[in-house]
Amino acid sequence: MIDVTVQHIGKKYRIGPEASTEPLGRPRRPWWRRSEEFWAVRDVSFDVRRGEALGIIGANGAGKSTILKLLAGITTPTVGRIVVHGRLAALLEVGAGFHPELTGRENAYLNGSILGMRRREIAAKLPAIVDFAEVSRFLDVPLKYYSSGMYVRLGFSIAAHLDPDILLIDEVLAVGDLSFQRKCLQRIEELKRAGCTIIFISHDLGAVERLCDRAVLMRRGQTAGTGAPAEMIALYQQIIAEAAAEDFTASRERRAAEITYFEFRGSGRDGRTEFRTGEPLMVRMDWAASEDVGDVIFYVYFYTQDNVLCTQLTSEDGPRVDLRQGKGYVEFTCPELTLPPGIYHVDVGVRKREVARGYSLHWLNHCAVLHVLDGTAVRGTFYTPHTWRIVVDDAPTPLEP
């Protein structure tokens, strides 16, 4: 049985011109030519079966959120159509429609009715909602005095108790602490077991793989593939890596010094892009210099999917490097990879130590992808290499694990 049918949908937006810099400046173009067309989603089709969990993955700007907005009915497609069987609840933003002046209880009613619940239903479910959100003591306190964690918990809890036939979730699990995230995922799994159809959008590929039966990979507003989550995730990584490699080869022009090759290696000599947290990691960078450039620094940056710089490898602290005309390679060695599981974009480059005009010799922005898999247990934002031992008092010798 099919719950959601998406047939060749497309969504066109108009992009306005940049605003004139003067407050009363004259527009540069006549009004009828002042906007450009842009297809956020184009010719996308897929089905979601009853009781299935479908993941939608893709880079930022691939059209995932637009699809969710269309499914939720927030905006309508420009072409194509969507047929939905049953009651659909969308959680695009936790606590959308909360009002800070009202108490937790009043907001539960307000938010619940916005999501399509009746007051009777909300009254019946309020104890469960409050219990799940762990806010029972603050139920009659205005929301403006809530901590952000409480706010998020209440918002998710209301949506999770709607009992919808179909639940849409967009990246909401990125908020809240780890234990609450786990609780949310548990709740989603519970809903799924109870027969609820789920459409899930996330950058957390691990969660998509664990939760979803199928995945749709979006790329530049179109579907790049539909299939088993593991396959789609692999395809996604391949697409990112190919795009990165294209950039790498395309950016060749004459430079005083440049990076000509770059790869990740494990303990062996093999080049690869998948590593586990805690595994040894080596980076090899080949360089070529067409003239003497003096003291230089080689570096590798790691960014998250959201473009946050996580960490770097650099030759900055080492001895002075006098790069002369010729070629060779640089090797970075990490005894243990400290990044938690996820997908990372990588920048590599070489620059002069002295920061002055033209100090950047060669910089490759997002030229590779590092996929980190589950390895050594890690909670938090990075793994700290460590050892441990246990001592039992009065024992003849310490026990070493």
Partner 1 sequence: MATLNRTNVTERREVTILAPPSFAPGRVLHDVARLARYADLIYTLSLHRIHVRYKQSFLGLLWAVAQPVCLMAIYTVVFSHVAGMPSEGLPYAIFAYAALLPWIYFSSGLVAATNGIVSNAAFVRKVYFPREILPITYIVAALFDFLIGAIVLAALMWFYGVSVTVTALWALPIMLIAAIFTTGVALVSSATQVWVRDFGIAMPLLLQIWMFASPVVYPLAVVPPAWRGWYVLNPMVGIVENFRRVMLQRQPVDWHSFEISAAIALVLLPLAYMYFKSVDATMADVV
Residue 142 vs 149, nearer CB to partner 1: 142
252 binds partner 1 (CB under 8 A): no
Tell me the H-state helices in 135-269. Answer: 148-160, 178-193, 205-211, 229-250
Give me the 23-62 binding string for partner 1, x by CB under 8 A, dash otherwise.
Answer: ---------------------------x------------
- For partner 1, how many residues bind (rule: CB under 8 A)? 52
Piece of the chain touching partner 1 by CB under 8 A; list 187-195, 265-273, 307-315, 338-346: 187-195
Q: Applying CB under 8 A, does 79 fall inside the site for partner 1?
A: yes
Whole-number Å distance between alpha carbons of 197 and 166: 5
Q: Which is nearer to partner 1, 132 or 156 (by Cβ)?
A: 132
Select from 20-28, 157-165, 295-303, 389-397 the region that touches partner 1 (CB under 8 A): 157-165
* Pairing state between β 166-170 and 197-201: parallel
Contacts of 328 (CB under 8 A, 6+ apart): 286, 287
132 is a contact residue toward partner 1 (CB under 8 A): yes
Tell me how far, at minimum, the Cβ of 386 lies from partner 1, in Å: 35
Counting beta carbons within 10 angstroms of the beta carbon of residue 160, is it exposed (0 to 12), middle (13 to 18) or buried (19 or more)?
buried
| Secondary structure (3-state) at 7 | strand
Burial class (CB in 10 A: 0-12, 13-18, 19+), 141: middle
Toward partner 1, which CB reaches closer, 107 or 338? 107
- Give the shortest CB-188-to-partner 1 separation in angstroms: 12
Dihedral through CA 154, CA 229, CA 220, CA 188, nearest 10? -10
Q: In terms of CB distance, is 163 or 231 closer to partner 1?
A: 163
* 87 counts as binding partner 1 under rule CB under 8 A: yes
Q: How far is the CB of 12 from partner 1 (least distance, A)?
A: 10
Binder among 17, 27, 61, 116 for partner 1 (CB under 8 A)? 116
Strands 360-373 and 274-276: parallel
Q: What are phi and psi of 342, to 5 degrees?
A: 155, -175
Nearer to partner 1, 94 or 337 (CB): 94
Contacts of 307 (CB under 8 A, 6+ apart): 345
**What are 97's two structure tokens?**
């429609």
Instruction: Output the DSSP codes for 45-60.
Output: EEEEETT-EEEEE-ST
Across 202-293, the runs of DSSP E, i.e. the strands, are: 214-219, 222-227, 257-265, 274-276, 281-289
- From residue 191 to residue 230, what is the string marking binding to partner 1 with x (rule CB under 8 A)? x--xxx----------------------------------
Among 161, 214, 351, 371, binds partner 1 (CB under 8 A): 161
Strand partners for 327: 288
71: contact with partner 1 by CB under 8 A: yes
Q: What is the DSSP letter of 40?
A: E
Is position 73 an interface residue for partner 1 (rule: CB under 8 A)? yes
101 binding partner 1? (CB under 8 A): yes
Count of Cβ atoms closer than 10 Å to residue 312 Cβ: 13
Contact between 190 and partner 1 by CB under 8 A: the answer reads yes
Contact set with partner 1 (CB under 8 A): 13, 50, 69-88, 90, 92-93, 96-97, 99, 101-102, 106, 109-110, 113-119, 125, 128, 131-132, 161, 163, 165, 190-191, 194-196
